[in-house]
Structure 1
Amino acid sequence: MRRDRPLVMAIVNRTPDSFYDRGATYGTGEAMAAVERAVEGGADIIDIGGVKAGPGSDVDVAEESRRVVPFVAEVRARFPELVISVDTWRHEIGRLACQEGADLLNDTWAGADPRLADVAAEFGAGYVCSHTGGAVPRTRPHRVTYPQLVADVVDEVTRRAGELVARGVPAEGILIDPTHDFGKNTWHSLTLTREIGRLVATGWPVLVALSNKDFVGESLGADVGERLYGTLAATAVCAWEGVAVFRAHNVAETCQTLDMVSVIKGTRQPAMVLRGLR
C-alpha cells in the first residue's frame, strides 16, 4: 500500500436507497464492477455498507447480512491483498464480515452496539472511532448544540480509541473520524474541517468522510450530483492538515487531488519534471 499520499477508502453501497447513487451498486454484479473501477482508480480500501445512513426502510440483521457478508467473501477472493472495510454498527454483521475476511470495522454510529468492539478485538480487525453526539443510528440531527464542538469531538474519539486498545483492538488499526454531518449541522461540519488539525495533533490517524455530503451542498447551494468540486476543495484542506484516510465516492478525482497536495507538501515526487530543463 502506497505511503506517499493519504489513503483513499472507496464507498460501495449495497443499498437500494443510497443518497448518492440511488442503488446503482445494489446488485452484486454492479457492486463488483464498482470495486474493480475503484481499485483501478487508485483506491487503497473498499468500504462496503448494507444500510443507508439516513432514515429509510427498516433493514434488519438478516437483510444487512444478505447484502454485505457474501459480497465481502467475493471481494476477498477477487482481491486477496485489498483492505476491506465494512460500514456497520452491528456486532453480528461485524463478526460475519470478519469471518469472511474483512479487515476494518467502520463504526459510523459511535459505539451504538458496544459488542462491535469485542468483535474487532477477537479478529484483530481495525476500527473507526466516530463522533455523533449520541445520535441514534439512522437519525438526522435536529437543533444540535455543542458548547465546545472540537473539544467534544477530540475528547470522545480519543477516549474511545484508548478504550478500544484496552479491550484488545490493535492500536495500529484504529482511526478517528470527526464524522461530518452525523449529529451535526453545516456550521459544525465546516468548523471541524477548518480545525481538523486539532484531531491530527492527537497522534491518532484521522479518517474523514466528506464526499458529497450535505454540508458541502448547503455551503454551495449544490444538489447531490453537483458537489464534487466542493468535496475536493474540502479534501485538499484536510489533506494539507495531515488527514490520513479519505472516504470517497469519486475515487480517481480524490486520488488526483491527494497526489497534488502531496507533491506540493513534498511527500510525493512529481510524475515528471521537464519544464525549463530541455
Structure 2
Amino acid sequence: MSVYFRPLVSFDPVMPRGAIRLAGGPGWFTHAVRLVRGVAPQTVRTSDIPTEIAERLSAPRPAIAGLSMERPRIMGILNVTPDSFSDGGLDSGPEQAARRGAAMVAAGADLVDIGGESTRPGAATVPEADEIARVAPVIAALAPRIAAPISIDTRKAEVARAAVAAGATLVNDVSGFTYDPALAPFCRETALPVCVMHAQGDPQTMQSDPRYDDVLLDVYDFLDGRIAALTAIGLPRDRIVIDPGIGFGKTLAHNLSLLNGLALFHGLGCPILLGASRKGFIGRLSGADPASARMPGSVAVALAAVAQGVQILRVHDVAETRQALTLWQAVQSGEADGT
C-alpha cells in the first residue's frame, strides 16, 4: 500500500518549532495531508511522516542549468512554430525570434524554453528535419545575446542534439522521455539537466477522453516511475525537474485537482515546473478568449503554484509574472527584496 504526503505549505517569516523547511526554500510546513488510495485524506503532523519521505521533502534542490532553486524561477516560452495555441506564427525568422527571446530575459525570465513542435491538443507530429530547421537557428542567434540558459522543448533526440550544438543546455520533454528511446541516453552522455512531464496520450489524442483512477496520485506514480527509469540508466536525480503536465490529457477537473495538490510532488525530491500559462482551462473558468487574453488568470495560477513551493514557472507573460512574483515575495517575507 503506497502512502503519500502533501505538505500544507506556509511562507510566514516566523517558522514555528517542529516545522520542516520545504525543499530548502523559504516555505515550511508543520502538517501534511496523508493520502492512501481508497482511504479518506488525513491531516498529520510532521512527526508522523516517515523519515525518508520527510528528508526528501525538506532536502534543498540542487541548481538546474546553473540556476539556484532556492527561489522561484521564470521560464519564458518561445514557440517558433506556425501553429502553437497562443504564440504560433509570431516570428518571421530566427532574428525576430531571437529578439523576442532576449526581450523575455530583459523582462525578467531566468531561462528561455524554445519549441519547434506544437503540442496543443490535436497537433500533428512534426518531422525531425523541420523541427531542427525551426529551432536551431533561433538558439544559435539567441545564445550569444543572453546570459540565461536556453531549454529545448522536444521529444526527439536528433532535435535535442542539434539544439545543444546551437547552445541549449536543458531538455524539456513533454512525453516524459517515453517517445524517443535515444533521448534519455543522449542527455545522460552530455550531462544535461532534463524536465520530465506527464502526459496521457499524444497531442493528437490526449484530450479525446482522459481518465484516471486518482489523477493526483496517478500522475505522481508516473513521474516517480520515470525518475526511476532515468536514474537506472545513469541520469542522476539532481539533474531532473518534474512537470505534472497541466492540460496534457486532463479535463478541467483533473487540472484543478493537480493544481490544488501541487505540493505533493515535492515528495519526488526534484524541482517542480508548472506550465499552465494561457491554457484552455483558464479560458473556460474565466471566459477569457482568445488565449492572449488569459494573462491575469495565468498570473493567478502562477502565484497559487508558488504558494505551494513550485520552483519554475513556464509562462508567456514574463514581465507581468515577474512583477506579480516580486510583490508576492515581498508581502510574504515582509521585506522589500522579497527574499
The DSSP-based 3-state class of the residue aligned with 2:268 is coil
Counterpart residue type for residue 270 of structure 2: W
Aligned residue number for residue 232 of structure 1: 299
CA drift of 1:114 comes to 2.3
Counterpart residue type for residue 72 of structure 1: I
Q: Could you tell me whether the CA contact under 8 Å between 2:74 and 2:109 is conserved in 1?
A: yes
After the TM superposition, which residues 102-251 of structure 1 pair with which residues of structure 2 at under 5 Å, given as runs?
A: 102-110=168-176, 111-133=178-200, 135-223=201-289, 224-251=291-318
- Partner Cα distance (1:136, 1:97) in 2: 22
Paired-residue identity, %: 34
1:86 pairs with 2:152: yes
Aligned residue number for residue 275 of structure 1: none
- Partner Cα distance (1:188, 1:56) in 2: 21
1:45 pairs with 2:111: yes
Aligned residue number for residue 138 of structure 2: 71
Map Cα deviations across residues 155-190 of structure 1 (whole Å, 9 max, x no partner): 111221232122222432211000100011111111
Counterpart residue type for residue 252 of structure 1: A
CA drift of 1:58 comes to 5.4
* Structure 1 length-normalised TM: 0.90
CA drift of 1:197 comes to 0.9
- Partner Cα distance (1:89, 1:26) in 2: 24
Q: Could you tell me whether the CA contact under 8 Å between 1:120 and 1:126 is conserved in 2?
A: yes
The DSSP-based 3-state class of the residue aligned with 1:238 is helix
CA 1:247/1:114 → structure 2, altered by over 3 Å: closer, same or farther?
A: same
CA drift of 1:3 comes to 5.7
CA 1:159/1:146 → structure 2, altered by over 3 Å: closer, same or farther?
A: same
- Partner Cα distance (1:36, 1:71) in 2: 11
- Partner Cα distance (1:169, 1:73) in 2: 26
- Partner Cα distance (2:249, 2:161) in 1: 26
1:17 pairs with 2:80: no
Aligned residue number for residue 20 of structure 2: none
1:59 pairs with 2:122: no
CA 1:257/1:173 → structure 2, altered by over 3 Å: closer, same or farther?
A: farther
* Structure 2 length-normalised TM: 0.75
CA drift of 1:59 comes to 2.4
- Partner Cα distance (1:257, 1:35) in 2: 20
- Partner Cα distance (2:70, 2:335) in 1: 9
CA drift of 1:244 comes to 0.5
The DSSP-based 3-state class of the residue aligned with 2:113 is strand
The higher radius of gyration belongs to 2
CA 1:85/1:138 → structure 2, altered by over 3 Å: closer, same or farther?
A: farther
CA drift of 1:16 comes to 1.3
Aligned residue number for residue 8 of structure 1: 74
Aligned residue number for residue 332 of structure 2: 265
Alignment size in residue pairs: 269
CA drift of 1:4 comes to 6.0
The DSSP-based 3-state class of the residue aligned with 1:201 is helix
Unpaired stretches in structure 1, ≥5 consecutive residues: 273-278
Greater percentage in helix: 1
- Partner Cα distance (1:178, 1:12) in 2: 20
More divergent stretch after superposition (98-107 vs 236-245): 98-107
CA 1:191/1:74 → structure 2, altered by over 3 Å: closer, same or farther?
A: same
- Partner Cα distance (1:230, 1:76) in 2: 31
CA 1:239/1:63 → structure 2, altered by over 3 Å: closer, same or farther?
A: same
Q: Could you tell me whether the CA contact under 8 Å between 1:178 and 1:192 is conserved in 2?
A: yes
Unpaired stretches in structure 2, ≥5 consecutive residues: 1-66
- Partner Cα distance (2:89, 2:220) in 1: 34
